[in-house]
Amino acid sequence: MEAVGKLTGGVAHDFNNLLTIIRSSIDLLRRPNVPEDRRKWYLDAVSDTVDRAARLTGQLLAFARRQALKPEVLNVADRLRGVADMVDSVTGARVTVVTEMPEHPCFIKVDLNQFETALINMAVNARDAMNGEGMLTLRLTCGVALPAIRGHGGAPGPFARIALKDTGCGIAPEHLEHIFEPFFTTKDIGKGTGLGLSQVFGFAKQSGGDVDVASEPDQGATFTIYLPQVEIKRDQVAPEAEPGPAPGGADQQVLIVEDNVEVGRFAKQILEDLGY
């Protein structure tokens, strides 16, 4: 009940903040003779806030393992190098980013966006733990077994093991068992939502793997994510995408199937406005 209460309170607080921006912007847009530059500013505020709400919902769905994933086969080392370059530009010059990769290719089948988001969430936490100065190591090991984590049974694999090790302040023992819970954070107010690591946890679980953490105060932390490996043939080629429907709605009919009446009415009106 305590966990449910924390989750409900966190969701309500964050969404109330977002709704305040949307509601206020709409009220101000309804005023007569709103200057065009202010109208654009309010519309941009609504659009940006809706995107933030969608990301918040996505993080919660990821934790609940109900996120709509689009798995694709990835060469882990290639993607890790790309993420490392991105992290290097985010962490600043005082943080050294090091990558350790095997020479042979290693493939996994996961949702690319969720995979990169999970790595960035872990890297940002590492940066914050180092207070902007230290070393972050991304290490990939292929063909390993999944160990028993938090009382769950392991699996023989093979799994790709991706470890992010930092030289930061470490994590207190009493916090280790809570860090993957939604809205749990040790950061100051306004510096973290407590949803980053819950997204990592949900993504790993939903992808058939798991995530583990090892840390001691003042000794840094190592977050390790395990994802199932896949074997691919060299001549494996993705099928060409079929052409989509013609643009525009002229002379085309759409059947709407929606379990929410208001969403269904809104979708109907939008499609009619587009000419369907």
Per residue in 241-264, pLDDT (tens digit) is: 555 555 566 778 899 998 878 778
Euclidean distance between CA atoms 93 and 122, whole angstroms = 18
Residue 271: alpha-carbon gap to chain centroid: 31
User: What is the mean predicted confidence (pLDDT) over 209-217?
Assistant: 88
In the chain, where are the structural domains located?
2-63, 71-228, 247-276
At residue 238 the predicted structure's pLDDT band, cuts being 50, 70 and 90, is very low
pLDDT > 70 in the chain, percent: 79
Whether residue 76 has pLDDT greater than 50: yes
Fold adopted by 2-63? Helix Hairpins (1.10.287)
Higher pLDDT residue, 54 or 8?
Answer: 54
Residue 33 contacts by C-beta under 8 Å, 6 or more apart in sequence?
none
At residue 9 the predicted structure's pLDDT band, cuts being 50, 70 and 90, is low
- Predicted pLDDT of residue 264: 83
At residue 72 the predicted structure's pLDDT band, cuts being 50, 70 and 90, is confident
- Predicted pLDDT of residue 61: 67
- Helices within the chain (DSSP H only): 2-29, 36-63, 76-91, 112-129, 173-176, 196-206, 261-273
Question: 221 and 208 in contact (C-beta within 8 Å)?
Answer: no
Whether residue 186 has pLDDT greater than 80: no
Place of tokens 């799994």: 159
Fold adopted by 71-228? Heat Shock Protein 90 (3.30.565)
User: What is the mean predicted confidence (pLDDT) over 21-50?
Assistant: 85
- Predicted pLDDT of residue 228: 92
pTM: 0.63
Whether residue 188 has pLDDT greater than 60: no
Whether residue 24 has pLDDT greater than 60: yes
Mean predicted lDDT score pLDDT of the chain: 80
Tell me whether the CATH fold assigned to 2-63 matches the one assigned to 71-228. no
Higher pLDDT residue, 147 or 194?
Answer: 147
Residue 108 contacts by C-beta under 8 Å, 6 or more apart in sequence?
73, 74, 76, 115, 160, 207, 227, 228, 229, 230
Whether residue 78 has pLDDT greater than 70: yes
- Predicted pLDDT of residue 237: 40
**Helices 112-129 and 196-206: angle between axes, nearest 10 degrees:** 140
At residue 70 the predicted structure's pLDDT band, cuts being 50, 70 and 90, is confident
